[in-house]
């Protein structure tokens, strides 16, 4: 343990000319959340993964080509399987996003931390990217990583290269789906965190935005376009296009993409409006 003098000494080192501050922000945020017990959420989110992994093993080794496998579509290991797995992770993803994202900007605003950030060589995009990296990391742990692992398991337990030849695009579809989720749901939770002053209100608001439109969709189920109200439905519809599977809703996938772009754009605007170095009282 070095002995420190209680006086000021100049630092002889040199600064990195253009520090990648977004990486510093992201890494520090990831570490902080990890210490807060994110591992418990993540372990919970891996229960479906283990079930699916067992399914892949059993179906590949013993089930393929059997009458049962042919009869029950959901047992087949194909693009639908991976799309379905990602859809099944929805609840865990939302919980992770709320736990990880609701306080990311709200707490910084509450403690005036933005002044400290912006007095360093940090710009708005560095800050926003850093915070989004935190969300992306934890989002990846419950979507991208297990889905990729499932694909690898399937390839490994397969006797031949037929599956790989047929579904070589699936890892890219998983990645595209993940990026779509981060760019929409991830940026949305950041925007709500910036708009709210407390973590709790950001979490409640986020939950409400995801739940109430789902109820409206249920009530207006006879109207095909009602699905556009629900982010879950919109993501399913857009995701189906990415995996090349049959669309679950009748509304146009272009409309689904437009809704997602709109949500992301609006979220960035809110974030830009609320993330300011200092509060100016006019």
Partner 1 sequence: MPQKGLASEMNAEYIKENRKQTRHRPVNKNTSTNQHAGFYLSVQLQDFTIQYGALKAVRSVTLEFGAGSTGLLGPNGAGKSSLIKGLLGLVPVASGSALIMGKSVVAERKAIRQVVGYMPEDDCLIPGLTGIGMVQYAGELAGMSREDAMQRGHEILFMTGLGEARYRKVETYSAGMKQRIKLAQAIVHDPKLLFLDEPTSGMDPRGRQEMLDLIQIIASRGKMSIVLATHILVDVERICRQVVIMDKGAVLEQGLVDELRGSYQGSYTVRVEGDEKAFVQWLEKKGCRVSPGEKQHLDVSLPKGKKTGLILEGAKQTDVRLRKLVPGVQTLEDVFVKRIGAESIAHL
DSSP state of 18: S
Least Å from the CB of residue 281 to partner 1: 8
**Binding map of partner 1 across residues 111-130, x = CB under 8 A, - = no contact:** xxx-xxxxxxxxx-------
Nearer to partner 1, 24 or 58 (CB): 24
8 A C-beta contact, residue 29 and residue 127: no
Task: Say how far apart CA 185 and CA 139 lie, in whole Å.
Answer: 10
Task: Say how far apart CA 149 and CA 141 lie, in whole Å.
Answer: 11
3-class secondary-structure state, position 147: helix
Segment 24 to 43, residues that bind partner 1, using CB under 8 A: 24-25, 28, 32, 36
160 binds partner 1 (CB under 8 A): no
Least Å from the CB of residue 120 to partner 1: 4
Least Å from the CB of residue 136 to partner 1: 19
Nearer to partner 1, 25 or 233 (CB): 25
Nearer to partner 1, 118 or 148 (CB): 118
Least Å from the CB of residue 116 to partner 1: 5
Nearer to partner 1, 63 or 108 (CB): 108
Segment 73 to 112, residues that bind partner 1, using CB under 8 A: 107-108, 110-112
Ramachandran angles phi, psi of 160, nearest 5°? -135, -175
Torsion of CA 174, 142, 229, 129, to 10 degrees: -80
Nearer to partner 1, 16 or 68 (CB): 16
19 binds partner 1 (CB under 8 A): yes
Number of residues that bind partner 1 (CB under 8 A): 41
Q: Provide DSSP, 203-252.
A: HHHHHHHHHHHHHHHHHTTTSGGGGGG-HHHHHHHHHHHHHT---SSSS-
8 A C-beta contact, residue 33 and residue 134: yes
Least Å from the CB of residue 39 to partner 1: 17
C-alpha distances out from residue 88 to 49, 82, 236, Å: 10, 10, 11
Nearer to partner 1, 116 or 152 (CB): 116
Task: Say how far apart CA 238 and CA 178 lie, in whole Å.
Answer: 12
Positions that interact with partner 1 (CB under 8 A): 2, 4-11, 13, 15-19, 21, 24-25, 28, 32, 36, 107-108, 110-113, 115-123, 277-278, 280-282
């Amino acid at each position: 343990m070095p002995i420190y003098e209680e006086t000021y000494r100049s630092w002889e080192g040199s600064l990195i000319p253009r520090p990648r501050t977004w990486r510093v922000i992201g890494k520090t945020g990831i570490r902080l959340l990890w210490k807060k017990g994110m591992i418990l959420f993540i372990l919970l989110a891996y229960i479906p993964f283990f079930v699916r992994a067992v399914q892949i093993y059993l179906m590949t080794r013993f089930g393929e080509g059997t009458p049962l496998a042919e009869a029950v579509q959901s047992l087949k290991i194909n693009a639908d399987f991976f799309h379905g797995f990602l859809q099944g992770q929805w609840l865990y993803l939302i919980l992770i996003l709320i736990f990880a994202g609701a306080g990311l900007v709200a707490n910084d605003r509450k403690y005036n931390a933005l002044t400290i950030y912006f007095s360093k060589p940090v710009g708005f995009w560095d800050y926003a990217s850093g915070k989004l990296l935190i969300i992306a990391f934890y989002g990846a742990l419950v979507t991208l990583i297990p889905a990729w692992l499932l694909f690898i398991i399937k390839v490994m337990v397969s006797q031949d290269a037929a599956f790989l030849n047929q579904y070589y695009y699936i890892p890219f579809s998983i990645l595209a789906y993940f990026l779509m989720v981060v760019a929409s749901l991830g940026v949305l939770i950041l925007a709500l965190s910036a708009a709210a002053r407390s973590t709790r209100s950001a979490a409640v608001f986020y939950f409400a935005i995801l739940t109430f439109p789902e109820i409206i969709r249920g009530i207006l189920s006879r109207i095909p376009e009602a699905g556009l109200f629900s982010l879950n439905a919109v993501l399913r519809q857009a995701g189906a296009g990415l995996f090349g599977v049959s669309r679950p809703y009748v509304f146009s996938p272009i409309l689904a993409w437009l809704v997602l772009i709109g949500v992301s754009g609006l979220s960035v605007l809110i974030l830009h409006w609320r993330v300011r170095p200092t509060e100016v009282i006019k």
